[in-house]
Chains A and B, each alone.
Chain A
């Protein structure tokens, strides 16, 4: 039982981690609290569904289309919709309130468009759904494939952030945008890049989740909630924290769903959130600010 819970939550946590790393980049580097991130995720899930059922392109190949598309779309959103807000804001608090309200707008518009296109029904498709025997338990192959891809993408992001010049610039902006500007980093461009990468990661997570989860057009808010809690739990701006927190959250959810009641997963999430708020508000990997 213990092994089953641990392994199931590990497989689920992979996709959560991608989404949370996306949000932590958008909020920690670009300073945009993106509340429409769940809609990006669900949108990617619908795109994967459409590619699989209409164009006969499997979601793994579909990733090669969905991820770049999400990158471009998020770049455009940051450049044209959010940059005016960044310019207008006198301080970080004002930008936070403005970006929260603007992304609420995006949330409802994206949700409205998806509702118009697909209606309120639940969707799913079958892909790699044969059973696999692992250590005496059966798992669906699609979950394992999704986790492997998520792990590869996360590793690539980690190397990109830590081993390249651009990655260093992104981390510098995350620590202090003003100081980053002083050492000749183009803060506006780096922020746009981080926002776009964040959107691409989230879309990637969404396409992977769609391989084994049923989804509908109004489900994004639930994922946004999870992503937000994971980011706060892990420490804003730190992808390593996002991974750890995503696995913890998946573990809490899976434990409550298997041992207590599947209807109480959100309560489990909130329980974790309250613990973090009370005992470590800066997050697991976060540093206490003055």
Chain B
């Protein structure tokens, strides 16, 4: 770790501590907004851990999220809370393992298609199980957790996701992942087991998202499959991560805040027009911000340093400095 990294770590730690004071100031609107922001930051950063470097667009977010929520439905009242979160993480990783094993040795398109319907598939299976084998379709969740505690858990989770992303970036795994993203054939030829690397990262990403689902589950009190496995979550997470820029660890963070605020505003005032908002956002990103805000900032910075070095070398400026 160099000085710069220590400084960034310290600053992020302070920022997290500062954000953790929010419930002391307000228990209403701002805390609710804080919870949804923290949840989306954790999910879209976890999404970008896998999909950023590999460019495999995963639409399985809602499936992981719902799996986490359903772990709480089944275990929340009997098992201790930390154990519930661990089980949720394991279930998320297992689901990612199954989906990944079927698709990740093939091309990206197979993967997109498979994840596209995954949440809907699990929703159908859960509904079918509940109507035909056991229990009612909707269930109540009685877990004694306050909103402030949910918020703190999500903040801690955000910290964990960022730490994990930072650790992966500087490890052999991160390097392997970047090579795969640049050229999968080259990666395979230089001895990287591409399928295994992708699978591992997908499992890590899935586990984090499942934990977000578990932490957020007590907020609903009543859960049914169509709430937990709502495929809109998948699309929102993709847009937020891409808007911010999925190639940088801090990219999704930049995308989450404006999009969540805009989405809340639109769904509050024009509930029927959220689809149009999502559609327009997708098109705007593809045509005007293909690398996201983070990518655009980097591009501008690169262009400036390029211009500066270029200007320094040109004879005209040399003459000026000599004078």
Contacts from A to B (Cβ < 8 Å): 33, 35, 84-85, 93-94, 96-98, 100-102, 104-113, 115-116, 221-222, 224-225, 228-229, 232, 261, 263-264, 266-267, 269-270, 273-274, 277-278, 281
Contacts and interface: CB of A to CB of B under 8 A. Distances in A.
Main DSSP-derived SS at the B contact region? helix
Given A93-B108, A105-B282, A281-B106, A270 B121 contact: yes
Contacts of A277: 102-103, 106, 110, 114
Nearest to A98: B286
Interface stretch (B213-221, B257-265, B272-280): B272-280
B128 A263 contact: yes
B190 interface: no
18 contacts: A33-B109, A84-B287, A85-B286, A101-B57, A101-B286, A102-B286, A104-B235, A104-B279, A106-B283, A108-B276, A110-B279, A112-B273, A112-B275, A229-B113, A232-B113, A263-B127, A263-B131, A266-B121
Given A98-B286, A225-B117, A270-B117, A263 B124 contact: yes
Main DSSP-derived SS at the A contact region? helix
Given A101-B57, A109-B276, A116-B272, A266 B117 contact: yes
Contact of A112 (B57, B108, B279): B279
Contacts of A266: 117, 120-121, 124
B116 interface: yes
A263 B287 CA distance: 39
B279 A108 contact: yes
B121 A96 contact: no
A278 B105 CA distance: 10
A100 B115 CA distance: 13
Contacts of B274: 112
Interface residues of B, number: 40
B128 A105 contact: no
A115 B128 contact: no
B272 A228 contact: no
Contacts, number: 112
A98 B109 CA distance: 12
B57 A97 contact: yes
Interface in B272-314: 272-276, 278-283, 285-287, 290
Most buried by A among B55, B117, B290: B117
A113 B274 CA distance: 11
B132 interface: yes
Given A94-B55, A97-B55, A263-B127, 10 more contacts: A97-B108, A98-B286, A98-B290, A100-B57, A108-B278, A109-B280, A225-B116, A263-B131, A264-B128, A270-B121
B122 to A, nearest CB: 10
Contacts of B281: 105
A105 B113 contact: no
Given A97-B55, A100-B57, A267-B125, A281 B276 contact: no
Nearest to A224: B116
